[in-house]
Amino acid sequence: MSSIGFIERLEGIIDERLDGPAEGSYTASLAAAGIKRVAQKVGEEGVEVALAAVSGDRDETLNEAADLVYHLLILLKVSDLQIADVARTLEERHI
């Protein structure tokens, strides 16, 4: 699997965590808090990745970008969307 292919696998992992939440699951508890809280986390992570990029810290930028993608996948799930929907929209805009 390519690294980018892991995004779809991670989406499946998130689905599993939300469909059969384990006790103490961060993912399940965040989703249960509602879309407003999930959206807030996406916003927080977006700011953190931007600040890390401005500071020039490559490792921190990568870590914060990973957090942003993870939280975006949760937001998409609770919005009944998938990363494939985002990819399709990008493809329509740029091809």
Q: pLDDT 10s digit of each residue in the chain, 95 long?
A: 578 889 999 999 999 999 988 889 999 999 999 999 999 999 999 999 999 999 999 999 999 999 999 999 999 999 999 999 999 999 999 99
Q: Which domain holds residue 81?
A: 5-94
Domain count, the chain: 1
- The answer for residues whose C-beta is within 8 angstroms of residue 17's C-beta and 6 or more apart is 25, 27, 28
Distance separating alpha carbons of residues 82 and 2, to the nearest angstrom: 19
Task: Read off the CATH number of the domain in which 30 is found.
Answer: 1.10.287.1080
Distance separating alpha carbons of residues 56 and 5, to the nearest angstrom: 27
Contact predicate 14/77, CB 8 Å: yes
**Whole-model pTM?**
0.93
